Structure 1
Amino acid sequence: MRYLGFATLVFLMGSWLVARDQPIPWEQLYKKDGIEVFRAKLSGSKFVAFRGTATISTTPDLIVDVFKDAPRWKEWTDLLLSGKILEPRKANHLIFYQAFDSPPFIRDRDAVYDVHFKKDPSSGIVTVVGKSREYPQAPETVGVRMDIDFSRWTLTPKDGKTYVELEMHADPGGWIPSWVVNMVQRDYAYDLLFALRRQAHKILRERNLN
């Protein structure tokens, strides 16, 4: 759902990247504004997984900077109430919290993410993966704490641009029927990638002016 916000960001839907014996059976839903959206039905889950791809005219490192810039998350994360890094364990390992506004009559959602960043030194490909986790110092939930089963961003540099791939699967929790969640999440990957691309270009323009 759109209120999953950065959640996918990460990050990032165990083990902490869910191992699957078979390739995920992605089905393309549509292509719009240079963004391709896919979905897949996963065995044992009533919620579908989503995948999105897009090309962004910047480097993987700048996109990672966007991911880590908590004070500016609201600039590109839909319905974000609050968010912060709870623990910067290492430069490539963060624990963060995000809370999201929900429509009327539905309790707000939040999540705690354990996020890992990895860059391949030879190819320059960056992967950002993670999942939900328990964290005693996390804020009290604003309503329902979501379970991010898996999420993975792959940032591949090519010809001065970055090919971005996002895969995620999440349970928003609560009483919302699965068919409603699946219907609303249909555009989640598109919305997130569109917003990420816009924010990355904004940051790039700001840096070029300095």
Structure 2
Amino acid sequence: MRKLLTTVILALGISGLSTTVSADVDDELLELRGTQAFNEWILVKHDTKRNIKAYSKREDGKRIRSFKLDYLIDAPLVALGRVYLDIDNYTRWFWEVRNAKVLKIISPTEFYYYIQHDAPVTLPDRDAIIHATIEPYTRKKGFAALKLKAVPDFIPEKPPLVRMLAEDMVLKFTPINKEQVRVEVEGYIDPGGMAPTWAVNAVQKQAPYYTVVGLQRMVQQVKNQGLPPDFPFKILEEEVN
């Protein structure tokens, strides 16, 4: 995985996939020159085969780009929730995750978890503590939501790991029908420590996309399974019509 990450950085975001947007190279050159537009979402990848759109945005006051995703999951919301809220198994599908575990459960809709990420070669690995809150699906509302916010001081740092300053996301899960869900994500990640901004941005353009590919694969594996009886979190307040 580290070799893959290094290749992504050296290639300045060019993955070699036929679905990669041809503007990636120009976008990277603009980034290096500091001339890319601020506060505008730029499409960085459109995978029509997998129904994934990935965007990035440079914002005033932030050294690293924000990201946005819009994609489809061909499975029921309950299957998606089973995968996304099964923190201990993030190592099976979440891009460059070495370790993940729940630290504290406040309620079925609020918890804290720990996550450790592999960093590019020559850079120390990162870790983060995330405060997660779930807004379960109701028919009236029509969607479920998951809000993730990094809380760096929740537990002491673990050198040589570098504690991430932000791994913040808002995810909206909107069932299209009983067998398909639209997912919209907006997020911002600051890895903390010392790392070239251009390299972090290049990786951040790729990581969300590859995470979605892993999520889609994992959801298909559990598509026909319901939530286990001891599943501690609530994604549904009411069944999807």
Between Structure 1 and Structure 2, how many residues are aligned? 186
Q: Does 2:218 match 1:177?
A: no
What is the rounded CA distance, in whole Å, between the counterparts of 1:186 and 1:136 in structure 2?
28
Counterpart CA distance in 2 for 1:204 and 1:182 is 33
Q: CA deviation at 1:142?
A: 4.7
Change (3 A) 1:141 1:84: farther
1:29 is aligned, of 16, 22, 44, to 44
Cα distance, 1:114–1:203 mapped onto 2, change above 3 Å = same
CA distance in 2, matches of 1:142, 1:206: 39
Distance across 1 between alignment mates of 2:214 and 2:199: 23
Separation (CA, whole Å) in 1 of partners of 2:98 and 2:212 = 20
In the alignment, structure 2 segments of 5+ residues that lack a partner are 6-38, 227-241
Q: Given the superposition, is the C-alpha separation of residues 136 and 159 from structure 1 closer, same or farther in structure 2, using an over 3 Å criterion?
A: closer
Say which structure is richer in strand: 1
TM-score, length-normalised on structure 1?
0.80
1:86 touches 1:138 (CA, 8 Å); kept in 2? Answer: no
Residue 88 of structure 1 aligns with an amino acid whose one-letter code is I
> What is the alpha-carbon distance in structure 2 between the residues aligned to residue 130 and residue 34 of structure 1?
24
Question: Percent identity at matched positions?
Answer: 22
Counterpart residue number, 1:165: 184
Cα distance change on mapping 1:27 and 1:137 into 2, 3 Å:
closer
Q: Secondary structure at the match of 1:88?
A: strand
Is the aligned partner of 1:49 residue 2:66?
A: yes
Q: Of the two, which has the highest radius of gyration?
A: 2
How well do the aligned residues superpose, as a CA RMSD in angstroms?
A: 2.1
1:196 aligns with 2:211: no
**Alignment equivalent of 1:40, drawn from 51, 54, 57:** 57
Say which SS state the counterpart of residue 43 (structure 1) adopts: coil
Whether the 8 Å contact between 1:112 and 1:138 is mirrored in structure 2 is: no
Give the AA of the match of 1:39: S
Corresponding residue SS for 1:73: helix
Structure 2 counterpart SS, 1:104:
coil
In the other structure, the counterpart of 1:133 is 151
SS in 2 for 1:99: strand
Gap change, CA 1:84 and 1:60, over 3 Å in 2: same
In structure 1, distance between residues paired with 2:160 and 2:111: 21
Q: What TM-score results when the alignment is normalised by the length of structure 2?
A: 0.71
Q: Whole-Å Cα distance in 2 between the matches of residues 148 and 162 of structure 1?
A: 27
Distance in 2 between residues matched to 1:112 and 1:143, nearest whole Å: 13
Higher relative contact order (Cα pairs below 8 Å, separated by 6+ residues): 1
Aligned pair partner of 1:153 in 160, 163, 171 = 171
Q: Is the 8 A contact 1:97 1:138 kept in 2?
A: no
* Superposed displacement of residue 138, structure 1: 5.8
Deviations 1:158-206 (A, max 9, x none): 0231001111111111211111111121112211111111111111145
- Asked whether the equivalents of residues 54 and 164 of structure 1 are also in contact (C-alpha less than 8 Å), the reply is yes
What runs of 5+ residues in structure 1 fail to find an aligned partner? 4-23
Deviation at 1:60, TM superposition (A): 2.4
Q: Is the 8 A contact 2:59 2:65 kept in 1?
A: yes
Q: Distance in 2 between matches of 1:63 and 1:148?
A: 24
